[in-house]
Amino acid sequence: MRLKDDHMKNGQLKPAYNFQCSTNEQFILHYTLHQNPGDSLTLIAHLKAFEQLYGQTPDEIIADSGYGSEENYHYLEEHQIEAYVKYNYFHQQQRKNYAKKRPFHVSQLHYNADEDYHVCPMGQKMEYIGNRTRKTASGYTQHLDRYQAQNCEGCPLRASCHKSKHNRIIEVNHQLNQYRQQVKEKLNSEQGIKRRKKRPCEIEAVFGILKQNRKFTRASLRGLQKVEIEVGLHALAHNFRKLAAKISQKQGKQPLFPFQETQKVEDLNTKTKKAA
Q: What is the pLDDT of residues 119-175, one digit of tens each?
A: 998 999 999 999 999 999 899 999 999 999 999 998 999 999 999 889 999 999 999
Q: Which domains does the chain have, with CATH numbers?
A: 18-92+182-243 (3.30.420), 97-176 (no CATH)
Q: Are strands 141-149 and 82-85 parallel, antiparallel or unpaired?
A: unpaired
Q: Give the dihedral sign, CA 39/45/48/53.
A: negative
Q: What percent of the chain has pLDDT over 90?
A: 73
The stretch 68-74 carries a mean pLDDT of 97
Which amino acid would we find at residue 68?
G
Task: Count the residues in the chain.
Answer: 276
Sequence-ordered alpha helix ranges (H) in the chain: 43-54, 70-78, 90-93, 98-101, 158-161, 174-187, 190-199, 205-208, 224-250, 258-275
Mean of the pLDDT values across residues 4-13?
Answer: 82
Specify the pLDDT at position 230. Answer: 97
At 19, the pLDDT band (50, 70, 90 cuts) reads very high
The backbone torsions φ and ψ at residue 68, rounded to the nearest 5 degrees and listed phi first, read -85, 70
Q: Give strand pairing partners of 85.
A: 63
Which pLDDT score, from 0 to 100, does residue 264 have?
46
Residues 6+ apart with CB under 8 A from 47: 57, 58, 61, 75, 79, 81
Backbone φ, ψ for residue 95 (5° rounding) = -75, 145
State the pTM of this model.
Answer: 0.85
Least reliable range by pLDDT among 137-146, 175-184, 251-260: 251-260
